[in-house]
Structure 1
Amino acid sequence: MSSAEIIITPVNDKKGRSAFVDLGRKFAAQTPHSVPQLKSEQMELINPDKNPFFGHAHVALFIAYSGGEAVGRISAHIDKLALELPEEQGFGPGTGMFGYFDAADEAVAQALLAHAEEALRKQRMTRVLGPISLSIWEEPGLLVKGADHPPMIMMGHHPEHYRAWIEAAGYAHEKSLFTYDLEVKHEFPPLIQRIVKSGHRNERIRIRPIDLKNWDEEVKTVLTILNDAWSSNWGFVPFTPDEIAYAGKKLKQIIHPEINMLAELDGEPVAFMMTLPDINHMLTKVKGKLLPFGWFHLLRWLKHPKGSGMRVPLMGVRKELHNSRVASQLAFMMISQIRKDAYEQFHSQRAEIGWILDDNKGMVAIADAINSKVNKEYAIFAKAL
């Protein structure tokens, strides 16, 4: 397929967004170990009237056609909050992004990437990062290791050949994000158990489950800690108040207090750990469809996800406590309690921690200390425009 045969058109309406999502679903269905997601959820993420990311972003979606057939898709987007960040944190002035990248062959891939780059140049961008779909908090990175098993909730899954196509377009590796696999049934090593016991003897520390009756305030507390804890990390973009409210609404239906913890020091919340049951396990069974009976199975599973794998997508300790003994106690106390409850109450056998930045020494040390192992790597690539 030559580039002359490829026509790339913008997505401008609901019908176009539906075609954009359907095309992504088609590519996913052709990729081994991919998990079918709910179309309604995918549509919401690219709907400017639903996803508050659009409140601080300029987003352009494109579909590639050849011979009247849709053969690829891509987004070119600019997060205005990311433009305000220091360059050493990954984004900064002049940095745009591409995402939602799918292509039938390399010619389509090159045409799509070139089109997205030109769209960003027209917006005066001088550098592009990707794939990031759409927010850094949604699905960042291209899967480059671990394609031999399905992804967990809120993680992407991509064909192995996409990496070569992106690199052939002049992109260089910028950052790796790792996920770690953990066998839940096993107790942590003796050293970690001693740290946990010492934390429980500290009268200043209290570990408690999330309070669903006070959910809105709990969400604000968690994301306030997150914004502080992650503020110096590569790729960090703070949550806005609208995004906090949106995240709270979306997460409440899959939050179980037993496996979601807040840590208090002298009565003040200073750390949290979020754990989500792996809904991908059930989505595979219902083939990503709510009808005719998928909704019933999903609702029943959400109430008690027995046997489900667990994912720890987020945790944080306030920056003032970083590199302190208390921070280690808080982290290990929370993850120890969550491991115990996931195994005893939900019969979970495995969990996934991450993603974790390749240079986040503190989190990498925690993952290593509890004997978890890297099971997937996602890469973010960069190119000067």
Structure 2
Amino acid sequence: MSDANVVIEAVEGKKGRAEFVDIGRALAAREPHSVPQLRSEQLELVDPGKNPFFGHASHQLFIARRKGRPVGRISAHIDHLALELPREQGFGPGAGMFGYFDAEDEGAAHALLAAAERWLRAQGMTRAIGPISMSIWEEPGLLVKGQDHAPLIMMGHHPAIYRQWIESAGYARAKTLLTYDLDVSGDFPPLVRRIVQSGQRNKRITVRPVDTKRWDEEVEVILSILNDAWSNNWGFVPFTSEEIAYAGKKLKPIIHEEINLVAELDGRPVAFMLTFPDVNRVLRKVNGKLFPFGWFHLLRWMRKPIGADMRVPLMGVLKELHNSRLASQLAFMMISQIRDTATRLYGTQRAEIGWILDDNKGMMAIADAIESSVNREYAIYERPIAD
């Protein structure tokens, strides 16, 4: 459905980026369970001078207006590292992306998608994939299940109608990302407990907290495992050294050593699991604003996140251990230790694990074994755009 009254403008400069962010915030505020994020963080993510993602990416931001009033936004971008990957891993040659997709109605949505496609086509791209906002490691996918409850830290939240608008523009689902909900107030099933106890008796295995006093080194260890463990996954794009340093700096304020773990085999790091307390709980309270008093509530809560839900956004086991019993044992050991610690220190009752790719049978089996259940689905769409 086209709308002749919609005008698409390319965003330029600091002022344009600020309006781009504010349009997204205004449209998100209409959703009952949306959580306002820190505006300064959102501005940084789309600033080529601050986000190292742009060191290997080209992009263009667009705003849609109707009679001068903003009615939507979208990004079109090319991750040049993704172009080097095999096509069977999702990206590869010709794979352009769109993200930061927000619209007031279907006419604006289709005009924005068409503008992103035109820009990508002009750059030589033959496929449009999205929404991915903007790195695959930031907010991939469109929420298609789970609008009835608030998202946890670093998770996107989108109106249900967006799915209809994207699909009516000719997009088909390329991949589904799953998030699992886990009640951690009770113990795990007997089989899981036996697996954990067996691992605890194995003198070759050590599961330790991360050491924030050596944080830069720990980040290197964790992300080197991640780059190896995920290298064959759909959508994988390796972290660059600049992105590793950036991620370390951004994550350190929310890291609590005792719930972020590294597993070692014979003294060598082979696996990790990161766990973040749900800062969205505070952001909702302060309406995403640090001033005048939001910073005080945020800093106080981050020191001791009592009652916080927890999210496990990333874990990995070195590829050499994949398809072995040891890989799942290490995962169960880390999950169990984090569960015990979070409930004891913070009174945590609930956690989420994800995202998990819908073809990651190993992680899905682990999620099933600890009696968690899917509570959100994110879809990544694709459409050919060649002339």
For the superposition of Structure 1 and Structure 2, which TM-score range results when normalised by the shorter chain?
over 0.9
State the partner residue of 1:349.
349
Quickly say closer, same or farther: Cα 1:2–1:366, change in 2 above 3 A: closer
SS of the equivalent of 1:383 reads: strand
1:25-44 maps to which residues of 2 (within 5 A)?
25-44=25-44
Superposition deviation, residue 28 in structure 1 = 0.5
| Residue 362 (1) aligns with residue 376 (2) | no
Q: Deviations over 1:200-248 (max 9, x none)?
A: 1111100000001110000000000000000000000000000000000
Residue type matched to 2:27 in 1? F
AA paired with 2:139?
E
Question: C-alpha separation between the residues in 1 aligned to 2:106 and 2:301?
Answer: 40
1:105-146 Cα shifts (integer Å, max 9, x gaps)? 111111110010000000000001100000110000000001
Task: Write the distance in 2 (CA, Å) between the matches of 1:244 and 1:353.
Answer: 22
2:127 is aligned to 127
Please name the residue that 2:146 is paired with: 146
Aligned positions of 1:9-48 closer than 5 A: 9-48=9-48
Aligned twin of 2:280? 280
Structure 1 residues without counterparts, runs of 5 or longer: none
Deviation at 1:335, TM superposition (A): 0.6
**Pairs aligned (count):** 385
Distance 2:127 2:115 in 1: 14
**For the Cα contact (< 8 Å) 2:2–2:111, is it kept in 1?**
no
The question of whether the paired residues in 1 share the 8 Å contact of 2:110 and 2:165 is answered with yes
1:335 aligned partner = 335
Confirm whether residue 326 of structure 1 aligns to residue 326 of structure 2. Answer: yes
- Deviation readout 1:6-46 (Å, 9 max, x if unpaired): 11111110000000000000000001200000000000000
**Structure-2 separation of matches of 1:66 and 1:324:** 57
Partner secondary structure for residue 233 of structure 2: coil
- The match for 2:178 is 178
Instruction: Specify the SS of the correspondent of 1:3.
Output: coil
> 2:225 is matched with which residue?
225
- Residue 190 of structure 1 corresponds to which residue in structure 2? 190
**SS of equivalent residue, structure 1 residue 356:** strand
* Superposition deviation, residue 184 in structure 1: 1.2
Give the C-alpha shift of residue 263 in structure 1: 0.2
Deviations 1:140-197 (A, max 9, x none): 0000001000000000000000001000110001110000000111111000000001
Aligned match of 1:115: 115
What is the match of residue 99 of structure 2? 99
Deviation (angstroms), 1:286? 0.5
Q: Which amino acid is the alignment partner of residue 316 of structure 1?
A: G
Q: Match of 2:314?
A: 314
Alignment match, 2:3: 3
TM-score, with structure 1 as normaliser:
0.99
Counterpart residue number, 1:80: 80
Q: Percent identity?
A: 71
Distance 1:24 1:309 in 2: 26
Specify the alignment match of 1:166 in structure 2. 166
How many angstroms apart in 2 are the aligned matches of 1:362 and 1:74?
35
Counterpart in the other structure of 1:270: 270
Q: Which residue of 2 aligns with 1:157?
A: 157
For 1:60, the equivalent position in structure 2 comes to 60
Instruction: Indicate if the aligned counterparts of 2:63 and 2:70 stay in contact, CA closer than 8 A.
Output: yes
Matches within 5 A, 1:287-298: 287-298=287-298
8 Å Cα contact 2:126-2:384 kept in structure 1 = yes
For structure 2, list consecutive stretches of 5 or more residues without a partner in the other structure: none
Q: Quick one: distance in 2 between partners of 1:326 and 1:173?
A: 34
**Alpha-carbon distance between aligned partners in 1 of 2:192 and 2:110, rounded to the nearest angstrom:** 49
Shift of 1:327: 1.0
Using structure 2 for the length normalisation, give the TM-score: 0.99
DSSP-derived class of the 2:153 partner: coil
* Structure 1: distance between partners of 2:9 and 2:24: 16
Secondary structure in 1 matching 2:311: strand
Q: Report how far residue 2 of structure 1 moved.
A: 6.1
Runs ≥4 in structure 1, deviation > 3 angstroms?
Answer: none
Q: Answer whether contact 2:48 2:54 (CA < 8 A) is retained.
A: yes
Q: CA deviation at 1:323?
A: 1.0
1:249 aligned onto 2:252: no
Once residues 40 and 226 of structure 1 are traced to their aligned partners in structure 2, the CA distance between those partners, rounded to angstroms, is 28
